[in-house]
Structure formats: C-alpha cells, structure tokens
Amino acid sequence: MSRLNEANIKTALEIIARYPRPKSALIPLLHLSQEQNGFITRDAMVHLGELVGVTSAEVYGTATFYEMFRFEPVGKYLVNICGTMSCALMGAGDLMHHAEHKLGVKAGGTTADGMFTLAHAECQAACTEAPTLQVNYRFRYKVTNSDFDALIDDLKSGKLSDEIPSHGVVARIRQRIPADRGVGAVAPELATENPVWMDGKAAL
Amino acid sequence: MTTAIRYPHATGFVAGDRPKIVTSRFEHADSFTLERFLSTGGYAGLRKALGRVATDVHEEVKSATVLGRGGAGFPAGTKWGLTPQQVFPKYLVVNGDESEPGTYKDRLLMERDPHQLIEGCLIACYAAGLSQCFLYIRGEMALAQERVATALNEAYAAGYVGKNILGSKFSVDIVLHWGAGAYVVGEETALIESLEGNRGMPRLKPPFFPAANGLYGQPTIVNNVETLANLPWLMVNGSEAYTAIGTKTSPGTRMVAVSGHVKNPGVFEIINGTTTFRDLLYGAEFCGGIRNDNELKAFVPGGGSAPWFTADQLDLPFEASQVGPAGSMLGSGAIMVMDSTTDIPAAALTLTHFYAHESCGKCTPCREGGTWLERILTRIVEGTGTEADLQQILEVGAMICPGDFPHASNEKLGLTAVPFPYKMTTICFVGPSAFAPLHSAITLFRSEFEARLVKRISIPVTAVSTTSKVLASQ
C-alpha cells in the first residue's frame, strides 16, 4: 500500500547510486517515504529494505532512532515549539502554554480536525531569535502569542500553503547530479591508489 | 530552482565593522546565488588552490592553524595529516548537524552562503586527497537543505563540482545528505554511523579519530561547516593574512551567537582570541548590555555542554588556552546569558532535560544517569525534592564524570582549579554534558536549589511510644 510510487522509486535509485554502500541512502529514503505517505508505514519499511538490501527490521532500527520519523499519522502541520535554554529564558514556556490553549491540545497531541500536531522540540539553532518555533521545519522567529494566533489562522486559511508544505515534505529542492558531470560513488574496493591529482603536480 | 529565494532568511546576524572571513557576503540579500557568489570573488580560492600542488595547499592550511569550529578546536590542517598514507579512498564528511543548545552559525553559513561552503569542501578534498565528500545537514533545517541543494545543482552545471573541476584533473562528487533529528549525531563517529544508514550511536574509542578508521572503515575527515567556510578566504589571501587576525594560538575569526537576556542578541563574526566576554555582552557594537540594565547572574560560555561562568570571568578572552584552565570551554561559540531575574534551577533543568532526551542509549551512565538527573531535578524545581535528592544528583553525576570537576569558581570557593575537560565513563561527551552545566549551577547557586527543597518539620520527641512501653514492661 505505501510502497514508494514509480516516480519516487526512480528518485530513490538515483539517491542510492550516490553512495558507496546502498544502506547509506536509508535516511534520505525514509524521508522520501514520509514525504509520500505523511508517516512511515510497515510496508514502506519492507520496501526500503528491499531497495537498499537490508531487512525491514534493520530499517525499523534506523528509523526509530530519529525524531523526525513518525510511525502514525500526524497533523498536516507539525508545530514544534523550542523549549531549550535560550528559548526557555525568553518565554517559551508561556508560548507553549498559549499554544496549548489556542489549539486545544496538549503538547504531543493532534487537533480533532487533523490540521495541527503540537510538539515540544529541542534546540532549533535559532537561539538569538528566541522564542522560536518551526511549522513543518519552517522557522518563525521571536514568536509572541499574537504572532502564534496569526500563524495558526494563516495556516488554516491556506495563506501559507506556498511556503509551508504538508508534513513529510522537508526540502522541496533535490540535488540532481547530471550523468555527464558526476564522478560516481567511490567505494572502498574501487579506489586502491591515491587520487590522480595527488601526483605532485598542480591540477591547473 | 529559485523558489527558495522568496522565503525568509535566517535572521540574527549583525555585521559590525570588523574583518570578515566567512560572512563577507551576508550583506547581500541574494548572497546564496551563484551569480552573487561569482561577482564577489567566489571560487577564486578554488582556482588558486588548483593552481598549486595539493600538498602545498595542505601546508598552507596547516600553517594558518585553522582551528576546528565544531567544539573541540582541533586544527584542521593537522587533522587532515592524520590519515594513513597508503589507504584509499579517503572521504570528507561535513558536519552540518548543528544542534548544540545555543549554537547558531552553521545554519546561517549554509542558508546564506552555500557556495562558500562548497568551495571550502572542494579545497579540503583537493589538499588532503579525499575522493568523495558527504555534506551532512541537520534534518530540521529545511531551508538550508534547499539552499545547499540549489547551490550544488548550480555548481555541478557550471563545472565547479564533479568531473574535471574547472577543466583540471581534479574530480570529486559532493553528495548532499540530510539527517532526521538526533543531537548525538553531531559527534563525529555517530555522524559516520548515521551516514552509513544506522542508528546514530557513537563508536567505541580507540581509534580516537575517524581519520584512521571512519566511513566504511576508511580514513575519513570530519570537518565542521564553519571550519571549511574559512578555506576560500584563506586560499585567496594566504596564511599570513589569516594569522594576522586574532592571536597566535587562535588565529582568524569566529562566529559567535549570543542569546538570552541581553539587549541585542545576535550572531557576530568576532576576532578570535582577543575579544572578551565583556566586549560581547556589554560592548555597544555587540549586545549592548543586559536587558533592562539588570545584573548579570551567569552565562554559558560555549554551548549547552559547557560549565557556566559568572561576572568574575567576563574579562577572559575568546581563547581556548585561557577558558580551559578557568574550568570551561569555548565549544561551538554559543553564549547564553542569564540576568538576575533568572530562576537558576529551572534554567538548569532545560539543559538537563535536553541531554536526557538526546542520550542515544548506548552507555548506561548517560542513558540511566541522564534520566535520573532530569527526574530528580524536576522534583526539586517543582518543590518536592529533599536534601537527599540534591546529594543524589551529585552522586549520579560522579558516576558519569568521576573525580574532581572543572569549575570556573573553584578557586574562589577555596577549591583546587581543575581544568576542562573532565574524566568520563561514557564514550562521548553527551553524558558529561548532562551533568557539567548542572554541577556548575549547583556549585555557584546552591542556596537557590536548597530554597526549593521540602523543609523537614522538627517534632520534639517527648512521649515514649506504646511499643517501647510494652517492650520495657516485659
């Protein structure tokens, strides 16, 4: 049911080919799968295991280590409010409290209409702009309570659908290595000597 | 391909009137485009490097003493030299998994000048003979991933990356890789595990350096984003110009994020080694003082893992050889400031929670100890902790990092000064990091923790209990 579709299989094979060992592509492929389905399903893990040549248990092992992978549906918008030190010092606790009231769910919960999942997050690397939050990994800085209300309203009305994609989509731009420009993966067994430019002469 | 342009930049960078090595293009709104990059001297450093013998380029970087900007401060040129001579291929892994509490610089560099980073990667690969580069960006940084992907696509098309770069014999692929949310992956061996598609758990040491045994068991150089971003400027201007900025032991500049209770929090590119914490916190060109002109209570000098400093250490310069002996570290260039209104136990709890949450679970002292610390401290903050709880925190901590503990105010408190780093019972620094800030908070502000404890009500013992009466009568 939730195996990768044709187009995504093509992308997946492209990604796998960049690595000396196929298993290295696992995290990018899990993202691809989450992008397609909104969360990671059992079937998806079986399929990814087939693609990179490991068991689905190994895929599960890797996937469950990382916070961004979800194994059950979440809201269309995942609202992560940072609660680590800088944000906490600048009022993240109050912001979370306000958010819980506004959305009517506790941190970790999803609204009844399936639009929002509210979550507590750890440091988001925007500490000078505290308190911060991310909606599907898109930043909002120095968030006040009224900023939060406006953000939720804009998300509901679809005003931000251009900037903020549905949960699962992280980067919308993919790396594409043109066939005629790429060197190809350098596996340990493929390179047995120093690269050609290490011959003691300048490259240019 | 240019859709990313419409979306808001990472804000917070304050330019100021200082030498700029890595942030020179930040003034331009389109600093991340190839067009702007090329019109402002982009890829000139690469061209210059390729015009020289690879080992010469390596020597140049070595003589510039480019200190690693990820936290440990190990010189990049020396690190490159640690790979075994006759083992191939060697890999470059770029650590863009910025997630240390308080740290905010690599994301700026990736979002606002991705080509500079790409150029830095290419120079490193050329100089150290590295056959393939993996650029690992933190999973939560969507815009940084988009910007770097766009930049890589542009660079491939224009012949700056890939086969026969600039028409030379130098060929290398840069593969964009992205994580999925795990703090511990910032540790270099965990980063490699994650890049191999595994759970991001640090590897056993020794070998201490992936330079000997890293990705797929091959020699691997792991460099921080900011470290590599220094290389293009260094190539264009030379190591003498580089070492002319800053001090002999800490040359060049550093990006520092100052957050928390200051008037103007921001990210600054400062002169390494000479700028003091006082300059940063109070200087008009930096943060301009504590908010509402409050008193400074404490500050974190180098990311969430660092033991805290107080006003006594304000005059220390941004120089590892002085901050280390004073009992803390510069880490990843993150300063978090707490003013006199700060609830210290609650502030410490945010960090303890962070490390308990982010422990990968490999080492028992960190997995169990971190969680214990969080639970006990939560009790204290909520007002249900006892004196025994406070003692227990110190005992649990001593199982993670045994022995004397480095501490900024040791001497002031009549204790022996113990330099950073500490002893530890875990493979990586996540374990000790759970305890280090908490230990310094308890040492510096013990009375605040004690004020939270449940008070024992002393009941005078007068009446003899029934049991003892019965016993006495027998």
Note the pLDDT tens digit of each residue in A31-74.
Answer: 999 999 999 999 999 999 999 999 999 999 999 999 999 999 99
Search chain A and give the residue with CA nearest B176. Answer: A175
Whether residue B469 is predicted with pLDDT greater than 80 in this model: the reply is: no
Indicate yes or no: CB of B175 within 8 angstroms of CB of A18: yes
pLDDT at residue B403 in the model: 75
Indicate yes or no: CB of B129 within 8 angstroms of CB of A198: yes
Indicate yes or no: CB of A139 within 8 angstroms of CB of B8: yes
| SS3 label, residue B263 | coil
pLDDT at residue B424 in the model: 87
Higher pLDDT, B250 or B461: B250
Q: Which of B8-17, B219-228, B417-426 has the highest mean pLDDT?
A: B219-228
Considering chain B, tell me which residue range(s) the CATH 3.10.20.600 domain(s) occupy. Answer: 253-339
Nearest to A62 among B6, B176, B199 (CB): B199
Indicate yes or no: CB of B172 within 8 angstroms of CB of A183: yes
Residue count of chain A:
204
Beta strands in B62-108 (DSSP E): 91-96
Indicate yes or no: CB of B162 within 8 angstroms of CB of A182: yes
Search chain A and give the residue with CA nearest B191. Answer: A24
For residue B227, give the nearest of B182, B164, B272 by alpha carbon. B272
Cβ atoms of A11 and A32 closer than 8 Å? yes
Which residues of chain B have a CB within 8 Å of the CB of A170? Answer: 139, 142, 145, 178
Mean pLDDT value across chain A:
96
Report d(CA B430, CA A94) in Å as an integer. Answer: 28
For residue B184, give the nearest of B167, B157, B166, B202 by alpha carbon. B202
Search chain A and give the residue with CA nearest B338. Answer: A89
Indicate yes or no: CB of B170 within 8 angstroms of CB of A21: no
- Give pLDDT tens digits for B289-309: 999 999 999 999 999 999 999
Record: fold of B26-244: Rossmann fold (3.40.50)
Look at strands B334-339 and B296-300 and give their pairing. antiparallel
**What percent of chain A is modeled with pLDDT above 70?**
100
pLDDT at residue B423 in the model: 81
**What percent of chain B is modeled with pLDDT above 70?**
92
Mean pLDDT value across chain B:
91
**Residue B106 forms contact with A (CB below 8 Å):** yes
Indicate yes or no: CB of B336 within 8 angstroms of CB of A18: no
Nearest to B88 among A54, A193, A201 (CB): A193
Indicate yes or no: CB of B261 within 8 angstroms of CB of A187: no
The average pLDDT across A90-112 equals 97
Indicate yes or no: CB of A181 within 8 angstroms of CB of B159: yes
Record: fold of B344-450: de novo design (two linked rop proteins) (1.20.1440)
C-alpha to C-alpha distances, B279 to B246, B259, B310, B318, nearest whole angstrom = 15, 14, 15, 10
C-alpha to C-alpha distances, A162 to A118, A148, B6, nearest whole angstrom = 21, 18, 10
**What percent of chain B is modeled with pLDDT above 90?**
82
Indicate yes or no: CB of B169 within 8 angstroms of CB of A184: no
Which residues of chain A have a CB within 8 Å of the CB of B163? Answer: 180-183
**Residue B114 forms contact with A (CB below 8 Å):** no
pLDDT at residue B220 in the model: 97
Whether residue B19 is predicted with pLDDT greater than 70 in this model: the reply is: yes
Cβ atoms of B141 and B75 closer than 8 Å? no
Confidence of residue B404 (pLDDT cuts 50, 70, 90): confident
Record: fold of A6-63: Arc Repressor Mutant, subunit A (1.10.10)
Q: Give Cα B110 distance to the centre of its chain.
A: 16
Confidence of residue B421 (pLDDT cuts 50, 70, 90): low
In sequence order, which residues have a C-beta less than 8 Å from that of residue B113 and are 6 or more positions away? B22, B23, B25, B26, B31, B32, B37, B229
Whether residue B401 is predicted with pLDDT greater than 50 in this model: the reply is: yes
Search chain A and give the residue with CA nearest B305. Answer: A85
The average pLDDT across A69-88 equals 96
Distance from CA of B59 to the nearest CA of A (A): 13
Which residues of chain B have a CB within 8 Å of the CB of A189? Answer: none
User: At B344, which helix (H) or strand (E)?
Assistant: helix B344-358
Indicate yes or no: CB of A67 within 8 angstroms of CB of B180: yes
CATH architecture under which domain B253-339 falls: Roll (3.10)
Confidence of residue B4 (pLDDT cuts 50, 70, 90): very low
Confidence of residue B399 (pLDDT cuts 50, 70, 90): very high
Which residues of chain A have a CB within 8 Å of the CB of B342? Answer: 89
Q: Please tell me the least confidently modeled range out of A144-148, B71-75, B324-328.
A: B324-328
Cβ atoms of B364 and B432 closer than 8 Å? no
pLDDT at residue B412 in the model: 59
Delimit the domains of chain A by residue range.
6-63, 77-157
**Residue B465 forms contact with A (CB below 8 Å):** no
Whether residue A99 is predicted with pLDDT greater than 50 in this model: the reply is: yes
Which residues of chain B have a CB within 8 Å of the CB of A16? Answer: none
The average pLDDT across B348-354 equals 97
Search chain B and give the residue with CA nearest A65. Answer: B199
* Joined tokens for residue A30: 């899990």
Confidence of residue B3 (pLDDT cuts 50, 70, 90): very low
C-alpha to C-alpha distances, B226 to A204, B32, B189, B270, nearest whole angstrom = 27, 16, 19, 13
Whether residue B91 is predicted with pLDDT greater than 70 in this model: the reply is: yes
* Joined tokens for residue B216: 């797929």
CATH code for residues A77-157: 3.40.30.10
pLDDT at residue B6 in the model: 56
Considering chain B, tell me which residue range(s) the CATH 3.40.50.11540 domain(s) occupy. Answer: 26-244
Could you please report the per-residue DSSP string of B22-45?
A: S-TTTTSTTTTSHHHHHHTTTTHH
Whether residue B2 is predicted with pLDDT greater than 60 in this model: the reply is: no
Distance from CA of A96 to the nearest CA of B (A): 14
Whether residue B205 is predicted with pLDDT greater than 90 in this model: the reply is: no
Helix, strand and coil content of chain B, in percent to the nearest 5, comes to 40, 15, 45
The average pLDDT across A84-97 equals 97
Indicate yes or no: CB of B265 within 8 angstroms of CB of A67: no
